[in-house]
Amino acid sequence: MHIRAFIPTYQKIEIEFEKNFTVFVIDVYVAGRKHVTKKRYSEFEDLHKKLKKLIWTPEFPPKKVLKWNAKNLELRRLGLEVYLQGVLEQDEPPRHVCIFLGITLSNSMESLQIENIASSSHCMTGSSHQSVLAFMGEAFLHEEKDSSSDSITAAVLQGLYSHENPR
């Protein structure tokens, strides 16, 4: 299963009586569904430390920045996006990436779940011998929502996965 991730923006977080910080908003796309998570630079840095022991990793954006202005934050956002996309080019991303993105992949097409990952070394994507129906291209990407009200999707899924043979 192919995982795609983009970092379209960042947000300044201001908490009373605490130091302000920045989070990077990550749009994660799996099986045509969108999931959004937010991570601090330090969380990316922790992920990088874990991954460089397991796989080849792209260049990680440097920690030292002299001034925190919009231009430098935008450069960091872009660097983190390129890094994350490089990591996701692996055939099967390590489980640390799945944990970081807050996803679990299962055998079904309704595969985006937010939960803890089992202790396997890679994201759980099911058996490699199972038939898979996939749609390529961004035209089928949509935000995750309550699908019980989507009668078209329900009808298509019933038609595709119905076990009864029409005569």
- Global model pTM greater than 0.75: no
Mean pLDDT of the region 131-138: 45
Q: Which residues pair with 11 in a beta bridge?
A: 23
CATH number at residue 85: 3.30.1520.10
Q: Is residue 74 part of a domain?
A: yes
Range of the domain at 23: 3-149
Q: Is residue 164 part of a domain?
A: no
Question: In 3D, which of 90, 96, 73 has the Cα closest to residue 7?
Answer: 73
For the chain, the domain total comes to 1
Q: Is residue 59 part of a domain?
A: yes
Q: Which of 53-62, 120-129, 152-161 has the highest mean pLDDT?
A: 53-62
* Average model confidence (pLDDT) across the chain: 75
Q: Contact 41/48 with Cβ under 8 angstroms?
A: no
Looking at residue 133, its pLDDT comes to 44
Q: Is residue 48 part of a domain?
A: yes
| pLDDT classification of 162: cutoffs 50, 70, 90 | low
Q: Is residue 167 part of a domain?
A: no
Looking at residue 151, its pLDDT comes to 66
Q: Is residue 50 part of a domain?
A: yes
Looking at residue 101, its pLDDT comes to 94
Q: Contact 23/76 with Cβ under 8 angstroms?
A: no
Looking at residue 105, its pLDDT comes to 62
Looking at residue 83, its pLDDT comes to 96
Q: Is residue 128 part of a domain?
A: yes
Q: Cα 66 to chain center, whole Å? A: 30
Q: Is residue 154 part of a domain?
A: no
pLDDT above 70: residue 104: yes
Looking at residue 131, its pLDDT comes to 36
Looking at residue 16, its pLDDT comes to 81
Residue 1, token pair as written in the block: 């299963």
